[in-house]
Structure 1
Amino acid sequence: MAATGSKSVLFVCLGNICRSPIAEAVFRKMATDSGVWVIDSGATSDWNTGSSPDTRGLACLRKHGIETSHRARQVTKDDFMTFEYILCMDESNLSDLNKKAKSVKTSTAKIELLGSYDPQNQRIIKDPYYGSDADFENVYEQCLRCCKAFLEKNS
């Protein structure tokens, strides 16, 4: 998936319809100018495979001038070999990814919480699915901070 000389990042949450597509879209907009990043997002579950992101998340992104045509997908074993970084949203995602990585003999991905890059030290990006538009805005703002810090550290 990642071309030679490029960097790669996969953003992951439970269903790949709220947090990780927002993080993917935010990072894609930030990193587009550098042209060296392979960027995607995925889910630890298969519940929403093929679905568009949540309409509230899409509205939040549009409000900030970001479009996405993402469709939800589940993380595959290949992802652990093709992505340099796998950044997830919460401890449950982290646990699921670490378990799956152990089943991949040649896993090379660095698995971390996206929130570990948050300059405001909010390590967990809370799932806004059962929340309000304001909760999606909070996810966007946190992803913006974290993605900026991640990009600065890895460019």
Structure 2
Amino acid sequence: MNYYLTAAGCLSALAWLLHLGCIYYGAPWYRFFGAGEHMAVMAEKGLLQPTIITLVIFSVLSVWSLYAFSAAGIIVSMLLVRLALIVITSVYLLRGLAGFYFVTNPIGRSPEFWIWSSVICLLVGLLHLVGLKQQWPTL
């Protein structure tokens, strides 16, 4: 079992769980987690757009956690694990780095959201990177 990929998978799973919480609890959770006032207002109005967007994010994070668990040896091997982990790792790291640009240009979110979310994405990306490097020969 690879502890780095296990931790990365758990963090992705926590993220998808929090996204489900946003759908269930609505506007207060969208606001608290920094989704932006626009998303919160749409949720208050009962519009489907926040739910659909959040379900897409939930779905992506769910698959990402499964790939991390697969590469860690916790669940059955999934198709194209190497390629998937390269893409997942890259997306987390690029999102983490790019988010710091938005601290000065927050586009509807607070600078604090961009700082915290970027740090979290970088952490998860680095866990994936170290775990992927360790598991590479066995994937």
Q: TM-score, normalised by structure 1?
A: 0.29
> Higher strand proportion, which one?
1
- Higher relative contact order (Cα pairs below 8 Å, separated by 6+ residues): 2
Q: TM-score, normalised by structure 2?
A: 0.31
> Higher helix proportion, which one?
2
